[in-house]
Amino acid sequence: MKKSVDILGLPVISITEGRELGMSKTLLIDAPNRVVAAITIEDEDWYRGVKLIPYDNVIAVGEDAVTINNSENILTLDAAGDFETLLDDNIRVIGTKAITRSGVIQGNITEIFIGEDGSIEKCEITAPEGSTSEVTADQVSIFGKEVTVISPEGDAGKKSDAAAAPAAPAVTAPAAETAAEEPVAEVAAPAVEESAPAAEIPAEEPAPMAEPVPVAEEPVVEPTPVVETAPEPEVPVVEEAPAEVPAEEPAPAPEAAPAPEEPAAESGDDKSAERVNEDRHRRFLLGKKATRTIKMDNGVVIVEAGADITEEVLQKAKLGNKFIELSMSAQ
């Protein structure tokens, strides 16, 4: 196996004539067949046109020269009709972009390896960062003029996939159709027959069933009296009334002094009125602020000027008989 660099730039020697016929210049690639079809050479008459050696006429590619039988193996452009299309395609492989079938660029093709029969065995790919890798010819889908398409699974894998793809639908399609048709026909027929009698039987029975329909009105009436469970909370209220009766029974014991009861009732009314007024004052004063400092007669401060009047302040004012004074200073 030889690299392209091992072939290009070598002198072409005729072993029968003992002559150097020129220098190997380029490789003519037959992309569809993945082989090197010929080697173009450059001699002193290069300006007269392209000259090439069919690779079948190459005896050997040595370390120092490419050997052929004689100069008659060299073809001019006029005599290279079979190679004219390849010359027009001018596919070099080396220098093309290596890209996968999924559209990922692997790098550039920097070298090809050629077998003794001229077949392309593998390619060397150089990634953008400089690393190199190799792919075999079986892993190359297309050798293009600017792009080489790589298929990592190889041609064998692609052919097996292509063969398996049509086989699967061919088997499943009829199976699916027959499976779908047969059960549909069997199920549809009994479904229609059963539905007809089923519809007739309930059609006759609902007539007598229509009479008990008014029963639905009874449950509507029942929840209304059930909701009237309100009298239950009134029962404890009635129980509380007799609980107050024993509280009145001890009252007749002090009835021996009827005269004091009347003044006691009058004093109770006066006290209740005072409590009502006191409660009003408390509600009025709570949350307000004292405009000046109020102290008890013994010097104890009830509230500082600007402080909030709280329940504690009201208690102190009441104990120190400063309730009225506190009311007048509240704001």
Residues 82 and 136 in one domain: no
**What is the Cα–Cα distance from 66 to 64, expressed in whole angstroms?**
7
Here the tokens at position 262 are 């009347």
Q: What is the pLDDT of residues 116-162, one digit of tens each?
A: 999 999 999 999 999 999 999 999 999 998 999 998 765 433 444 44
Task: Round to whole Å and give the CA distance between 58 and 135.
Answer: 26
Tokens representing 303?
């509230």
Q: Say yes or no: 101 and 85 in one domain.
A: no
The ranges of the chain with pLDDT < 50 are 155-208, 210-266
Residues 45 and 103 reside in one and the same domain:
no
Looking at the structure, do residues 74 and 8 belong to the same domain, yes or no?
yes
Last residue of a domain, one of 155, 176, 196: 155
Q: Please indicate, yes or no, whether residues 313 and 277 belong to a single structural domain of this protein.
A: yes
Query: Is 150 a domain residue?
Result: yes
pLDDT at 329: 78
Residue 40 sits in the same domain as residue 69: yes
Domain co-membership, 72 together with 118: no
Q: Which domain holds residue 105?
A: 97-155
CATH classification of the domain holding 47: 3.90.50.10
Q: Are residues 79 and 124 in the same domain?
A: no
Name beta bridge partners: 142: 149
Check residue 267 and give its pLDDT: 53
Burial class (CB within 10 angstroms; exposed 0-12, middle 13-18, buried 19+) of 285: buried
290 domain-assigned: yes
Residues 45 and 73 in one domain: yes
242 domain residue, yes or no: no
Q: Which residues of 201-212 are buried (b: 16+ CB within 10 A; e: fewer)?
A: eeeeeeeeeeee
pTM for the model: 0.46
CATH number at residue 123: 2.30.30.240
Q: Does residue 212 belong to any structural domain of this protein?
A: no
Q: What is the pLDDT of residue 314?
A: 85
Give the residue from 89, 114, 135 where a domain finishes: 89
Residues 17 and 45 in one domain: yes
* 229 belongs to a structural domain: no
Assigned domain for 71 exists: yes
Q: Are 109 and 74 in the same domain?
A: no
3-state SS string for the chain: CEEHHHCCCCEEEECCCCEEEEEEEEEEEECCCCEEEEEEEECCCHHHCCEEEEHHHEEEECCCCEEECCHHHCEECCCCHHHHHHHHHCCCCCCCEEEECCCCEEEEEEEEEECCCCEEEEEEEECCCCCEEEEEHHHEEEECCCEEEECCCHHHHHHHHHHHHHHHHHHHHHHHHHHHHHHHHHHHHHHHHHHHHHHHHHHHCHHHHCCCHHHHHHHHHCHHHHHCCCHHHHHHHHHHHHHHHHHHCCCCHHHHCHHHHHHHHHHHHHHHHHHHHHHHHHHHHCCCEECCCEECCCCCEEECCCCECCHHHHHHHHHCCCHHHHHHHEC
**Shared-domain flag, residues 130 and 111:** yes
Residue 205 in domain: no
On the CB side of 235, CA atoms within 13 Å amount to 4
Cβ 166 vs Cβ 159: under 8 Å: no
CA distance linking residue 83 with residue 309, whole number of Å: 117
Residue 291 belongs to some domain of the structure: yes
The total number of structural domains that make up the chain? 3
Q: Which of 110, 129, 155 is the last residue of a domain?
A: 155
